[in-house]
A and B are shown apart, each in its own frame.
Chain A
Amino acid sequence: MSGANMPLLSVEDLHISLTTDAGRFPAVDGVSFTIARGETVGLVGESGCGKSITALSIMGLLRDPLGLAGGKIKLSGQEIQNLPASQLRALRGKRIAMIFQEPMTALNPLKAVGTQIAEMFVLHQGASWREAESKAVDALTQVKVPAPAQRAKDFPHQLSGGMRQRVMIAIALACEPDLLIADEPTTALDVTVQSEIVDLMKELCAARGTAILMISHDLGLVTDTCKRVCVMYAGRIVEQQDSERIFNSPQHPYTQGLVASLPRLGMRARHGRRRLTEIAGVVPGITAYPVGCRFHPRCTRRTEICETVVPELTALAEGSLVRCHHHG
C-alpha cells in the first residue's frame, strides 16, 4: 500500500500471551484493526477482555508475564513490534502518545506539572529549558487549565482529578503525535467533568489531525467519541461497526445483548418499564476461555459448531465485520 491509502496504524493478527505457573494463556487472540490518519477508533469491552494490553503492545510496553506471541504492529507501514528499546522510546511521545485512567500513576509526584510537560519538548524536540517552559504554559492554556502560569508550578497532588487529566492530555499532545491512545481516560471522573475532558480531547486532536484510539468499557462513550468501534470480548474482536450503527443494528449476539441490557435514558418514557434483557452467565476468566467461540456459553444462538470452531471475522455490507457463525 502506498502513501494516501496506507493506514497510520495497522494491528495484524495480534497475539498476546500471559504466562503463569499454571501455563500460557491467550490473553489477546488474533486482534486486527487499522486506524487511518486523523481517524477516531474505539475499542470497547468489559474489564479484563484485553483492551489495555492491546494498547500497551502498540506502545511497546508489554512486560513479563505478558508477551507478544505473534502478529504485526505497523506504523505508517513500518513494523514496530520488534524495534529495539531505544527506537521505541523515540517513537513514544513523538508519534504515539498514551493517556491512562489514573493520571496519578503516570505523573511524577515529585515534579511540578509544568516541568513534566516541558520535558517533552526538551526530550523530543531538543528545545532549551527556557523555551520548553514557556511552551508548557501554552500547552496548559490549550487544555483550558485556568491560570496556567501558576498551575504549571503545582505538583500533581495539588490538582483535581479533572485538572490532572488535562495535564496528561497536554503532555500527550505536546509533540503533536500522529496517534493518541486514551485508555479509559475519564473513568475516574464525574460525568460532567468527563464530558468536558472528552470534548477537549476531540477538539484538540481534530485541530492537529491526531488519530485517536479510545478505550473504554462504556459503549456510549466510545460511540460518542469515535467514528468506528471495535467490540472486544475475551481477547478477541467480535464486531467492528460504524458508531452510528452499533446501537441500532448490532450484529454480534454479545453486542446485541449489551445494547439490549442497558437501561438508556428515555427508554422508560417511550416504552414503559420493561424488564431488561439479561446476558446469562458470567464473563469468563482468562485461564478458562471457552474453546470455539468464546461467547458461546452465554449465547442464545449457540449451536454445535460454536462449541468447537472459532468463527472467522466476516465482512458484512458497509465495512462492518462480525465474528459469529450465526450473525445478524
Chain B
Amino acid sequence: MDKHAGADQALLSVEDLAVYFPIGGGVFSGRPQMLRAVDGVSLSIKPGESLGLVGESGCGKSTLALSILGLVDATTGRVVLDGKTVGGDTDRRDVARTVQMVFQDPYASLNPRQTVRRTLADPLRLHGVSNAGEVADRVAEMLRQVGLRPDQADLYPHEFSGGQRQRIGIARALILKPKLVICDEPVSALDVSIRAQIINLLLELQAEMGLSYLMISHDLGVVEHMSDRVAVMYLGRIVETGGWREIFEQPRHPYTRALIAAIPDPLTRGLAREKARGEIPSPLNPPPGCTFNPRCPHAIDHCRAAAPMLSAIDDGHLVSCWRADEFATPISA
C-alpha cells in the first residue's frame, strides 16, 4: 500500500457487509432462521474523521462494530482497515494496533482484579514493548493524557468514580496508538454532570492524536457535537447518511426525522407529526418493502411493496426512501 496516501484514502471501508446469525434450528426443527443483524452496509471513514452512527436498540450498531474489530465474521461483504481486509488471514494483532474500542459501561469493561497499570501495560507487552522503563513511561504518559495522575496507576477500578473509570477505558483503547477508535455509547452510562468532561476529552485526544472515531450513540445531541458525518441505521441497514448538517438540519428519511422529533426537548415540540408509531419489528421477521413502513407517518402503498435503495440526493447525502424528494423542508430543532 502507498505509504503516502492522501487524506482522501479511507482508513476504514466497510463494503456491502452482512452479518447473519443463525437462530434456532437443529436436528428436528429443520433449518435455522437467519437473523440479519447487519444487512448490506457500506461506509467509510477517512483519517482524522468522525462518523456518528445512530439507531435504536438492536439495529445492528454493535454487531457492525464487532465485525470491524474482526470479532464476528462477515456473512458476505468485507471490512478493509488501513488497506488490509479484516478477518481471514489478517493478524489479529495488526487489527488491534489499528482499531480499538471504548465501551459503554466502564464498570463491566474493566477487570476488577487488575490495577490500572496492568490494564494498560498488558497490551503494550503483548505488542512487543518489553523494556520495563518504556512501559512505565507510556503508562504514565497515557494516564496524564486522559486526565488521571500517574500515581493512580496502582489503584484498582473500584477505587475510581464512574467518570474516572471511563477515562481508564479510554486510556486502554489509546495505549497502542490506534488510528481508529470505536466508541460504543461512551457517555450514556455516566452521570449527566460528568458527560461533558468525557466528551471534551475525546475531542481533545482526537485533535492531539489525529484519531478517527466511529461514534455510536443514541443521543443525537452528542452525535451532532462530535461527528463530521453521520449514518442512520434501521434494522441492519443504513437508511440515511450525510454530513452532520444535512442529517440534522435537512434530514430526508422519515426515520431520521422521527428520531429528531422524539428527542424530549422543548426545541422539538413542533415536530409531533414526524413521530414514529409502534415498535421496532424483530430483525428475524422484517416487514416487506421498506422495513420502516409500519412505523412511518408518511408510508404509501408503494413503500409496503418495494424496498427503496440508498441513493444520492445531494453530494455525499444518501437516503433510502421512496418519498425523500418530498421531505426537502428543513427541520428546525
- Is B199 an interface residue when CB atoms closer than 8 A count as contact? yes
B221 at the interface (CB under 8 A from A): yes
Residue on B nearest A219 in the bound complex, by CB: B192
A83 close to B (CB within 8 Å): no
Contact A279 B194 (CB under 8 A): yes
* B225–A276 CB distance below 8 A: yes
Query: B333 near A247 (CB under 8 angstroms)?
Result: no
Contact of A195 among B164, B224, B244, B262 (CB under 8 A): B262
Within 8 A of B (CB), among A182-231: 190-196, 198-199, 217-221, 223-225
Q: Which residues of A contact B258 (CB under 8 A)?
A: 192
Candidates B195, B267, B280; contact of A266 at CB < 8 Å: B267
Count residues on chain B whose CB falls below 8 Å from chain A CBs: 49
Chain B stretch 268-290: residues in CB contact (< 8 A) with chain A: 268-269, 275-280
Q: List 14 A-B contacts (CB under 8 A).
A: A46-B193, A191-B56, A191-B259, A192-B275, A196-B275, A263-B196, A263-B199, A265-B265, A266-B267, A267-B221, A275-B203, A276-B225, A277-B196, A282-B163
B266 contacts the other chain (CB 8 A): yes
| Extra contacts besides A224-B266, A265-B221, A283-B191 (15): CB < 8 Å | A192-B258, A192-B280, A198-B264, A220-B263, A221-B264, A244-B266, A262-B196, A262-B221, A263-B199, A263-B225, A265-B263, A268-B224, A279-B196, A282-B191, A298-B193
Q: Are A46 and B192 in contact (CB under 8 A)?
A: yes
Interface string of B145-162 (1 = CB under 8 A from A): 000000000000000011
Judge whether A190 and B199 touch: CB under 8 Å.
no
Q: B262 to chain A: which residues have CB within 8 Å?
A: 191-192, 194-195
- How far does the alpha carbon of A146 sit from the alpha carbon of B279 in the complex, in Å? 11
Is A130 located at the chain interface by the 8 A CB criterion?
A: no
A125 at the interface (CB under 8 A from B): no
| Closest-CB distance, B333 to chain A (whole angstroms) | 5
User: How far in angstroms is the closest Cβ of chain A from B255?
Assistant: 9
Given the known A-B contacts A265-B224, A282-B194, are A225 and B264 also in contact in the complex, defined by CB atoms under 8 Å?
yes
Given contacts A46-B191, A192-B262, contact A267 B275 (CB under 8 A): no
Min CB distance B32 to A, Å, is 22
Contact of A268 among B164, B197, B218, B244 (CB under 8 A): B244
Contact A266 B248 (CB under 8 A): yes
Chain B residue nearest to A280 (CB atoms) is: B197
Q: Give the nearest-CB partner of B261 in chain A.
A: A195
Chain B positions within 8 Å of A247 at CB level? 266
Would you call B279 and A220 a contact (CB within 8 A)? no
Name the B residues within 8 Å of A160 (CB-CB).
Answer: 279
Any B CB within 8 A of the CB of A304? no
Verify if A258 is at the interface (C-beta below 8 Å from B). Answer: yes
Residue B222 is within 8 A (CB to CB) of chain A in the complex: yes
- Contact residue among A219, A266, A283 (Cβ-Cβ distance under 8 Å from B333): A266
The interface bits of chain A over 250-274 (1 if a CB of B lies within 8 angstroms of the residue's CB, else 0) are: 0000100110011111111100010
Q: 8 Å CB contacts to A: which residues of B306-332?
A: 332
Mark A residues whose CB is within 8 Å of B. Answer: 46-47, 146, 160, 162-163, 190-196, 198-199, 217-221, 223-225, 243-244, 247, 254, 257-258, 261-269, 273, 275-279, 282-283, 298
B333 touches A195 (CB 8 A): no
Q: Give which listed residue, A47, A196, A220, A261, contacts B196 with CB less than 8 A.
A: A261
Chain B, 205-231, CB within 8 A of any chain A CB: 218-222, 224-226
Chain B residue numbers with a CB within 8 Å of A261 are 192-193, 195-196
Contact in complex: A268, B333 (CB < 8 Å): no
Chain B interface mostly = helix
Say whether B33 faces chain A, with CB atoms less than 8 Å apart: no
B75 proximal to A (CB < 8 A): no
Q: Which residue of A lies closest to B245 (CB)?
A: A269
Q: Of the candidates A47, A190, A268, which one forms a contact with B57 in the assembled complex, judged by CB atoms under 8 Å apart?
A: A190
B264 touches A218 (CB 8 A): yes
Q: A192 — which chain B residues lie within 8 A by C-beta? A: 56, 258-259, 262, 275-276, 280, 295
**Known contacts A263-B224, A283-B194; is A191 also within 8 Å of B218 by CB?**
yes
B249 at the interface (CB under 8 A from A): yes
Interface assignment of B181: CB less than 8 Å from any CB of chain A = no
Collect the chain A residues with CB atoms within 8 Å of residue B220's CB. Answer: 265
Supposing A192-B259, A195-B264 touch, asked if A278 and B197 sit within 8 A by C-beta, the answer is yes
Residue of A nearest to B275 (CB): A195
Instruction: Verify if B69 is at the interface (C-beta below 8 Å from A).
Output: no
Given A191-B56, A275-B200, A268 and B279 contact (CB-CB distance below 8 Å): no
A238 to B261 Cα, complex, angstroms: 30
B17 at the interface (CB under 8 A from A): no
Per the bound structure, the CA–CA distance linking A213 and B249 in Å amounts to 34
Among B164, B192, B262, B295, chain A packs the most CB atoms within 10 A around the CB of B192
**Top 6 nearest A-B pairs by Cβ distance?**
A263-B225, A261-B196, A195-B262, A276-B196, A190-B56, A221-B264
Q: A191-B259, A220-B264, A264-B221 are in contact. Are A276 and B200 (CB under 8 A)?
A: yes
B159 CB → nearest A CB, Å: 13
A264 and B267 contacting across the interface, CB-CB below 8 Å? yes
A157 → B minimal CB distance (Å): 15
Which one, A198, A276, A283, contacts B199 given CB within 8 A? A276
> A195–B266 Cα gap in the complex (Å)?
13
List of A residues within 8 angstroms of B248 by Cβ: 265-266, 269
The reply to whether the CB of B260 lies closer than 8 angstroms to some CB of chain A is yes
Q: Return A241 CB to nearest CB of chain B, in Å.
A: 13
